[in-house]
């Protein structure tokens, strides 16, 4: 894909690839933070006390991190070069979901 982009838009290929990577990082960290919030909600106070690593300033830190990731996403929408990643990401997520559903049926 990078070779095709380099042929079509050589002056913007790095920006396009890095913006798609940024969306991937935002997605990954969003899922990590949401899973951590859900995990902590599912535990009793006694179970939480036994955790080896406790997230500092929980749950405020998780919500602040999610807000920061949302802010980065909004800022990306205002940058023409990075906006393409916000357009491509939902399409990619739909393709992944369809692939997951097909694989799950096996």
Of 25, 39, 17, 38, give the one whose Cα is nearest residue 69: 25
Distance CA 85, CA 59 (A): 30
The domain in which residue 32 lies consists of 2-105
Q: Number of folded domains in the chain?
A: 1
Q: Quote the pTM value.
A: 0.77
Distance CA 22, CA 16 (A): 10
The pLDDT > 70 percentage for the chain reads 97
pLDDT at 35: 95
What are the pLDDT digits (tens) for 3-43?
A: 887 778 777 788 778 888 888 999 999 999 999 999 999 98
Number of Cβ atoms within 10 Å of the Cβ of 61 = 13
């Amino acid at each position: 894909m990078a070779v095709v982009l380099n042929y079509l838009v050589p002056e913007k290929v790095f920006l396009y690839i890095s913006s798609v990577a940024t969306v991937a990082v935002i997605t990954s960290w969003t899922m990590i933070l949401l899973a951590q919030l859900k995990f902590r909600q599912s535990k009793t106070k006694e179970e939480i006390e036994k955790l080896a690593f406790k997230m500092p300033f929980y749950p405020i830190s998780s919500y602040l991190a999610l807000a920061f990731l949302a802010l980065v996403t909004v800022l990306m929408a205002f940058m023409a070069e990075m906006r393409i990643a916000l357009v491509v990401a939902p399409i990619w997520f739909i393709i992944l979901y369809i692939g997951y559903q097909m694989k799950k049926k096996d």
